[in-house]
């Protein structure tokens, strides 16, 4: 028996598609067969499986489990919950891998699979291998078993373990995503006063799209914080691995700004450590890490790439602009928005200042949101290379870690190819609006010289 995946579903960091169009039960079964085959060939026998709150998740889970068992792997189902709960299960139960069925922060018609293989991220070539095994029908045969375990209370207990924060008034917006039940349990343990929004799990996301990196999705949380005069508010994406925040004035505190606050207690405990951020992060963050005595490291965007680099450099903390924050100090090295929330409360307590005061003290920089330009898939990496070639020999300082990050007297701009879509991603940051305008003009000029027009800007 063989199976062919829709080519758009096998992506860099996960497998994802539109249910009924590019993703269905046969795909889930083939993923189970392929993953189990690779695991058995590496000496593994058991896999933890979790799912998010989308309507299509239970059906995809059933087919996935069928596939895993048919290739001789035993399955431990942990039920519905956020992706970090699956990562926690994979790190603490006697299993050799884990698969979460989730569409992450995508619209409700999407779903997908995030995987961990023997405690390491499963991405890139690993995912392509699943496709190859399916096309060849090269699957192990066997008869695995399936059992259920309720890990939610253990996970919430672990989030709260060693809690050392203060007494705050906090708003929490779960966006009807899979983190809702965890947040309901967690706030019962936390001191202070807690106001919850949309913690009931609903895969149609009736209140707002569950992506806290888009400011419009934080409108309800901002209203709650300002109306009730709360200290700050926290928001979570659809599968609970990305965090968003607003301060007491309702201003967004972005991923790199949160990381600059979280770095303080981490570097107190582990002076001189490496702290990693992706190429989209503000220069302010890298400067702040250095100022705190840490070793700032700029790395490629993508949660699997960051996790891999953390292991390599023994970094206790890492983060992305997109709100993925990874903790290896007294934790397991994965991205967990609920753990990030607890650590943020601790960091504020250690600082002895409110989130609003810390936000006020940050350098006043002007930056663009993430700009995305639709380009032909076959051209996206070539365009970035053309830009790098043209910058060769100019007086600008160019970092090539992930695309082109160009530092000038005005600040910096970035142009990189998305690993998951047919878009180029750009960002710029300066100390002044005039400086920012000049940087954006440089991006426009470089794009135009490679035949990309400003009008090609894609919706986020």
**Coil, helix or strand for 4?**
coil
Residue 166's pLDDT is 87
Residue 460's pLDDT is 36
| Catalytic residue status for 104 | yes
> What is residue 69's DSSP assignment?
H
- Where in the chain are all domains bearing CATH 3.40.120.10? 15-150, 152-363
Q: Which CATH class is domain 366-456?
A: alpha beta
Cα–Cα distance for residue pair 357/349, rounded to 1 Å: 13
Q: Which helix (H) or strand (E) element contains residue 427?
A: strand 423-430
- Where in the chain are all domains bearing CATH 3.30.310.50? 366-456
Residues of the chain with pLDDT under 70: 454-460
**Coil, helix or strand for 241?**
coil
Residue pair 416/404 in contact (Cβ under 8 Å)? The answer is yes
Catalytic residue from among 9, 56, 57, 104: 104
The reported pTM is 0.95
CATH 3.40.50.720 fits 152-363, yes or no: no
Residue pair 244/236 in contact (Cβ under 8 Å)? The answer is yes
Residue 459's pLDDT is 42
Residue 454's pLDDT is 66
Residue 395's pLDDT is 82
Residue 234's pLDDT is 98
Cα–Cα distance for residue pair 85/91, rounded to 1 Å: 10
Residue 274's pLDDT is 98
CATH-assigned architecture of domain 15-150: 3-Layer(aba) Sandwich (3.40)
Residue 172's pLDDT is 98
């Amino acid at each position: 028996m063989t199976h062919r995946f829709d080519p758009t579903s096998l992506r860099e960091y996960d497998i994802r598609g539109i249910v009924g169009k590019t993703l269905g039960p046969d795909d889930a079964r083939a993923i189970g067969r392929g993953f189990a085959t690779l695991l058995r060939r590496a000496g593994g026998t058991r896999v933890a499986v979790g799912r998010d709150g989308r309507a299509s998740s239970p059906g995809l889970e059933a087919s996935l489990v069928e596939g895993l068992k048919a290739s001789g792997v035993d399955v431990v189902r942990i039920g519905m919950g956020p992706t970090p709960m699956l990562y926690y299960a994979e790190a603490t139960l006697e299993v050799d891998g884990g698969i979460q069925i989730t569409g992450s922060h995508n619209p409700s018609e999407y779903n997908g699979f995030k995987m961990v293989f023997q405690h390491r991220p499963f991405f890139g070539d690993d995912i392509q291998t699943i496709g190859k095994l399916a096309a060849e029908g090269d699957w192990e045969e066997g008869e695995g078993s399936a059992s259920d375990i309720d890990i939610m209370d253990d996970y919430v207990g672990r989030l709260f373990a060693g809690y050392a924060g203060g007494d705050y008034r906090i708003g929490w917006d779960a966006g009807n995503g899979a983190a809702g039940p965890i947040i309901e349990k967690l706030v019962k343990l936390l001191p202070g006063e807690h106001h919850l929004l949309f913690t009931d799990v609903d895969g149609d996301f009736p209140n707002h799209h569950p992506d806290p990196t888009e400011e419009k999705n934080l409108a309800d949380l901002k209203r709650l914080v300002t109306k009730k005069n709360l200290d700050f508010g926290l928001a979570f994406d659809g599968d609970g691995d990305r965090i968003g925040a607003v301060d007491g004035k309702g201003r967004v505190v972005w991923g790199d700004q949160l990381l600059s606050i979280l770095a303080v207690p981490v570097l107190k405990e582990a002076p001189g450590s490496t702290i990693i951020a992706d190429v989209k992060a503000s220069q302010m963050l890298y400067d702040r890490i250095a100022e705190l005595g840490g070793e700032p490291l700029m790395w490629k965007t993508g949660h699997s790439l960051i996790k891999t680099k953390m292991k390599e450099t023994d970094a206790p903390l890492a983060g992305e602009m997109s709100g993925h924050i990874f903790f290896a100090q007294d934790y397991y090295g994965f991205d967990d928005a609920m753990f990030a929330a607890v650590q943020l409360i601790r960091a504020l307590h250690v600082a002895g200042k409110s989130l609003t005061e810390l936000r006020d003290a940050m350098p006043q920089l002007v930056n663009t949101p993430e700009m995305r330009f639709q380009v032909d898939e076959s051209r996206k990496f070539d365009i970035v290379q053309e830009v790098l070639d043209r910058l060769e020999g100019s007086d600008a300082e160019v970092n090539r870690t992930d695309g082109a990050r160009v530092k000038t007297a005005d600040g910096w701009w970035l142009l990189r190819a998305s690993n998951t879509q047919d878009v180029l991603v750009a960002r710029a940051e300066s100390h002044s609006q005039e400086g920012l305008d000049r940087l954006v003009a440089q991006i426009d000029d470089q794009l135009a010289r490679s035949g990309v027009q400003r009008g090609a800007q894609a919706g986020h």
